[in-house]
Structure 1
């Protein structure tokens, strides 16, 4: 068994969509980034890659490459997962935490879990997504950005 941890941060700006967990969430601000800037999927990619010491998302999908400009982060997660599969591993579970002041994401969590589970070929019950705020403190509290952390447990696929 192998465990990996991932973390990601993105600035929130007007004029961008807010993609979290592969779901387009209605909001007046969206995440700024080279790709679609899905903070949750990026943290999960890093957790998966880290579990097998394969570097990070920037190593595999650099933000200096036109190939990844505005790419759907679901594709990045699929490619990260393929690297895991190629090495003979499967996902046991993912535990993730989002930190954002707004919007409330409770109504989107099940769709996120379903999307992520399908992308990494596991049961929805193996995907946990929680959310918290910073009680209006710091850049998250001022709604300038958001962050996500994820832990992935992998097991050799027999």
Structure 2
């Protein structure tokens, strides 16, 4: 099979702070997130999608919250690690699509920067990276402003023939 699809989801509760990290971009907000790392739901969901596409586990297996090395870690390191893993097995991201779910902060003003950051990190064209947002119509924890979530899907394409770089 020359293509693989993966999906991921992440959520963090809001806590103290003055910003959230979204797709490697610092976004001003009245609150931060409660997380072991920087709590970047966009990159965490994307990492799970990449890992899932090749059945390589999930972000918690690669960066366990019980490991103090990842306390406050920049989630861009997680995405680099996941990209290195898939490339080592002969795959590359074909495209990815991320949806951020929250009432606030407003995502629209930051979409271009998030897309650019992700495309640069994955070595793919910016037009292969989709980032969008939705609210939950004031329903549930995101609707009550208690937290933020993201879901991601990715398509991987094989760069190397089977046997020449992994699965």
TM-score range for the pair, normalised by the shorter chain length: over 0.9
The 2-side partners of 1:85 and 1:16 are apart by: 36
Post-superposition offset of 1:135: 1.2
List alignment gaps of at least 5 residues for structure 1: none
- Pairwise mapping of residues 84-123 of structure 1 onto structure 2 (< 5 A)? 84-123=86-125
The 2-side partners of 1:91 and 1:134 are apart by: 29
The 2-side partners of 1:70 and 1:15 are apart by: 13
Contact 1:7 1:148 (C-alpha < 8 Å) held by counterparts: yes
- Pairwise mapping of residues 48-67 of structure 1 onto structure 2 (< 5 A)? 48-67=50-69
Instruction: Report SS of the residue matched to 1:90.
Output: strand
Contact 2:47 2:59 (C-alpha < 8 Å) held by counterparts: yes
The 1-side partners of 2:97 and 2:25 are apart by: 18
List alignment gaps of at least 5 residues for structure 2: 161-167
The 1-side partners of 2:97 and 2:45 are apart by: 11
Partner of 1:18: 20
Partner of 2:131: 129
Post-superposition offset of 1:76: 0.6
Instruction: Report SS of the residue matched to 1:95.
Output: strand
Q: Does 1:2 align with 2:7?
A: no
Contact 2:18 2:32 (C-alpha < 8 Å) held by counterparts: yes
Q: Does 1:145 align with 2:141?
A: no
Post-superposition offset of 1:16: 5.6
The 1-side partners of 2:136 and 2:124 are apart by: 31
Contact 1:16 1:32 (C-alpha < 8 Å) held by counterparts: no
Instruction: Report SS of the residue matched to 1:80.
Output: helix
The 2-side partners of 1:14 and 1:127 are apart by: 30
- For the pair shown, the structure with the greater C-alpha radius of gyration is 2
TM-score (normalised: structure 1): 0.97
